[in-house]
Amino acid sequence: MKIGNIKLPDFPLLLAPMEDVSDPPFRALCKKNGADLMFTEFISSEGLIRDAEKSVQKLDIYEYERPIGIQIFGDKIESMRQAAEIAEKAKPEIIDINYGCPVKKVACKGAGAGILLDLPKMQSMTKEIVDAVNLPVTVKTRLGWDENSIKIVEVAKRLQDVGIKALTIHGRTRKQMYKGEANWEYIAEVKNDPQIQIPIFGNGDINTPEKALEYKERYNVDGIMIGRASIGYPWIFNEIKNFINEKKKIKKPSLEERINTVKRHLDFSIEWKGETLGLLEMRRHYTNYFRGIENFKKFRMQLIESASYEESLETLNNINKNFKESKILA
């Protein structure tokens, strides 16, 4: 498969752009564990054109991450065009546009999923970005604003017409946020429309290898984007790949592997963000890293409440001493 001139496996697995999650430390682990194409955290177009430190830092990419896309969001066409040009200078393989973020402070200002209420503007903005850069432009979006305004086939055709090279669809509306079940029937409707020639990737609720294979076969998508299921569990990419290719499950990561992975994640997180923020943003990962270990709550709270790198390492070493492999559930 190709996105523009970027060659990918026949059925690629993508790491979703997630705020405060898909940063370089986490992406490094996902790449090692089988992610085929990754995206940065979404970056504010206004932040980029104003040279805001937090936004500019998100442009950091490393050679081993490639291919990688930089995702931008915003509600102003001119700002988005300028931000795309700035992002291109960071030399990613792809510029990705966020038309899917449901968070109120983004969507209710007309950015992210908010632009689904104004399809002509969405089309105009996308065309400006496609025309402004020399890289393939892709889009991630949702089905619609709510169940009464789902026009995802029209959205796909409009975006394809102005030159995007791939489309990822999250199978929920903005109104749903992350509640309820993702509806992949609409994603399949886009994929199976004879006028759609670009790759269509599905996103939403894929949290096991079995479900990934089932949805691949049922909905005929070109690939799958993994989001929340990868948080604290980067192994999911290789688990899905093996199940799709071999039709059997591979062994879950051992306790030692989990601890060593957390240490690598923690080290890189602190190196990249500094100790205070690095420790803080690791908190969201701990539950999944150690999911399936009985009576783990005390240690999880110790990790979350750790005030220093040394304290976190001490807790991780104590976990290794206090638990046996037999306590990790399948």
Instruction: Give yes or no: residues 283 and 233 share one domain.
Output: no
**Residue length of the chain:** 330
pLDDT score of 89 more than 60 = yes
Instruction: Give yes or no: residues 144 and 277 share one domain.
Output: no
Write out 82-118 in H/E/C secondary structure. HHHHHHHCCCCCEEEEEECCCCHHHHCCCCHHHHHHC
Number of H helices, E strands in the chain: 14, 11
pLDDT score of 174 more than 60 = yes
pTM of the predicted model over 0.85: yes
> Per residue in 52-66, pLDDT tens?
999 999 999 999 999
> Per residue in 195-218, pLDDT tens?
999 999 999 999 999 999 999 999
User: Binning pLDDT at 50, 70 and 90, where does residue 170 land?
Assistant: very high
Block residue for tokens 């500019």: 56
Which pLDDT score, from 0 to 100, does residue 257 have? 93
pLDDT score of 324 more than 80 = no
User: Binning pLDDT at 50, 70 and 90, where does residue 293 land?
Assistant: confident
Which of 15, 86, 101, 231 is catalytic? The answer is: 101
Contact 18, 40 (CB under 8 A): no
Range name among 153-157, 166-170, 197-201, 311-315 with the lowest pLDDT average: 311-315
Which pLDDT score, from 0 to 100, does residue 284 have? 87
Average pLDDT over residues 1-14: 95
Q: What is the CATH number of the domain that holds 265?
A: 1.10.1200.80
What backbone phi and psi angles, to 5 degrees, belong to 168? -105, 130
The yes-or-no answer on residue 101 being catalytic is yes
Instruction: Give yes or no: residues 195 and 314 share one domain.
Output: no
Instruction: Give yes or no: residues 14 and 129 share one domain.
Output: yes
What backbone phi and psi angles, to 5 degrees, belong to 92? -75, 175
Average pLDDT over residues 292-311: 89
What backbone phi and psi angles, to 5 degrees, belong to 57? -60, -30
> Per residue in 119-160, pLDDT tens?
999 999 999 999 999 999 999 999 999 999 999 999 999 999
Instruction: Give yes or no: residues 185 and 322 share one domain.
Output: no
User: Binning pLDDT at 50, 70 and 90, where does residue 326 land?
Assistant: very low
Instruction: Give yes or no: residues 123 and 229 share one domain.
Output: yes
Domain, as residue range, for 297: 255-327
Which pLDDT score, from 0 to 100, does residue 32 have? 96
Q: What is the CATH number of the domain that holds 125?
A: 3.20.20.70
pLDDT mean across residues, the chain: 93
Instruction: Give yes or no: residues 149 and 211 share one domain.
Output: yes
Domain endpoint, select from 187, 218, 246:
246
Q: How many domains does the chain have?
A: 2
Instruction: Give yes or no: residues 216 and 73 share one domain.
Output: yes
Alpha carbons 96 and 215: distance in angstroms, whole number: 24
Residue % of the chain over a pLDDT of 70: 98
pLDDT score of 325 more than 90 = no
Instruction: Give yes or no: residues 302 and 157 share one domain.
Output: no
Which pLDDT score, from 0 to 100, does residue 297 have? 87
pLDDT score of 222 more than 80 = yes
Which pLDDT score, from 0 to 100, does residue 311 have? 94
Instruction: Give yes or no: residues 76 and 203 share one domain.
Output: yes
pLDDT score of 307 more than 70 = yes
Domain endpoint, select from 246, 270, 288:
246
Which pLDDT score, from 0 to 100, does residue 248 have? 84
Instruction: Give yes or no: residues 202 and 322 share one domain.
Output: no
Domain endpoint, select from 246, 279, 298:
246
Instruction: Give yes or no: residues 168 and 279 share one domain.
Output: no
> Per residue in 19-49, pLDDT tens?
989 999 999 999 999 999 999 999 999 999 9
